[in-house]
Structure 1
């Protein structure tokens, strides 16, 4: 029995769904890529099984495939995401009248413990940032990179949010920043004094890079285009290496550190939720576990009955 490549009918439905997410729901490229990867995996499996129509795939069939992928080493976390992608895709097909039911609706993947985010402590963040100030006054790109780092830590931005910033997003003397978050949800975040100074220093250099098509993008590349997420990730990695950091630093680690440090000082979970732009407070609650870890470590050191005997 010969197996053809994924049937164009299967592919056309997925392509239409991805377009729907891109243009109507305005999902990020990262999210679109995740959906595409999950649905491509299912399409390939359907092809192996000589299935060429989404309508004929049953819940039993999907359960069998999940078992195969699990045996192949796909993690529970990846399986959960794949089920979520399938569920959403079939909801779309239902709305289009392309299928009669959603076979992914009741699927379950094995439960996984959620890993705690990795954060830097306040001293590590200060070392990372303070290490760069010497060169920022004279080196335009160092000035830009320092402003990026300061903004990440000052305002807890996501990578895509920071990349998309325009100069006019600032208000009130650069002390407030309007951010466009996930699903085009807008929020206003405060900007700390160090970040304000760093951004204003960069703006004094920015005109060196402006080209006709630069627009009002806050952060520009050497070529005068809006800086890419990949460039930011690479520059932050380089910064951390120069500062002798013991761990690989990435943008989300600075967002995690921001959230953890604010929560540790204030104990105000709702405010941290607002600052991070989380739609569900359960997402923010992961930082309370980090905070408890810190408290537990303090307790172990300080409590007379908790101290370990030498």
Structure 2
């Protein structure tokens, strides 16, 4: 089987077994397409001929050409998945990325809003339908820490406004139930009172009654941030980061925050401990009488 056909077989397997979002599947397709292009440029016509040294060469060349370390790490992750699949199917006897590491990543902490900034952002005034919808979206993001894809895919049947809960289908089609705060419940009730709130109806419809697109939400949040004069760039994931940081800062319960966010690996959640430490460091520096004083 040609490498291109093997990649297509893997993508079909991925779609059937893990049911990733179309966006994620497209990202895998692009990453594996880059592998095929690099193999062709290096005169490698099969995965059997691909060795760790050759892969290191490809990674090094891409890095010199300006591809970011994070992009190279993602490429290697996609390639590892392909080679694991081929090995499990008996189509590959060795792992071409064994021992191959991408360039070291600089740890970049996500930006978050402080409590006053968050409260100001989600306070959307006015009873016009667009304002009611925007207020409900912002409150739900900040209240429950949803991913953008989880919010756009919500149906009214997923919400329990009496019990204050929302049922979401996260990455890997994993179901989790997340609390919904009082202000978000009130905003959603106001949105539901406008009609079209049947169990199968999208909570946030776009054109033609279909669920609102991710791009439409991103653009709307950018407009709201500019209108409210917020100095930080406003985007949906900023509110997820803010939710996680504020929950961890208040509770100190890393495992609970992991469950609320739907992270499979607690290491992903641990980045918020660094954010919390930054906050504590600022408090220490401003409050401790000897924090910034030189020793005599």
Q: Does 1:15 align with 2:4?
A: no
SS in 2 for 1:187: strand
Q: Does 1:119 align with 2:112?
A: yes
Change beyond 3 A, Cα 1:79–1:42? same
Alignment correspondent of 1:253? 238
Pairing partner for 1:202 from 173, 191, 213: 191
For these two proteins, the number of residue pairs brought into alignment is: 294
State the distance in 1 between where 2:192 and 2:150 align.
Answer: 19
Measured after TM superposition, the shift of residue 49 of structure 1 is: 2.3
- The TM-score, its normalising length taken from structure 1, stands at 0.89
Alignment correspondent of 2:57? 64
Q: Does 1:145 align with 2:134?
A: yes
- The TM-score, its normalising length taken from structure 2, stands at 0.93
Pairing partner for 1:180 from 165, 169, 176: 169
State the distance in 2 between where 1:264 and 1:59 align.
Answer: 43
Alignment correspondent of 1:306? 291
Pairing partner for 1:25 from 15, 18, 22: 18
Q: Give yes or no for contact 1:160–1:229 (8 Å, CA) kept in 2.
A: yes
SS in 2 for 1:197: helix
CA-based RMSD: 1.9
Change beyond 3 A, Cα 1:228–1:174? farther
State the distance in 2 between where 1:265 and 1:59 align.
Answer: 46
Unaligned runs of 5+ in 2: none
Change beyond 3 A, Cα 1:308–1:233? farther
Q: Give yes or no for contact 1:206–1:220 (8 Å, CA) kept in 2.
A: no
Pairing partner for 2:277 from 288, 292, 308: 292
State the distance in 1 between where 2:225 and 2:12 align.
Answer: 38
Measured after TM superposition, the shift of residue 34 of structure 1 is: 2.3
Unaligned runs of 5+ in 1: 1-7
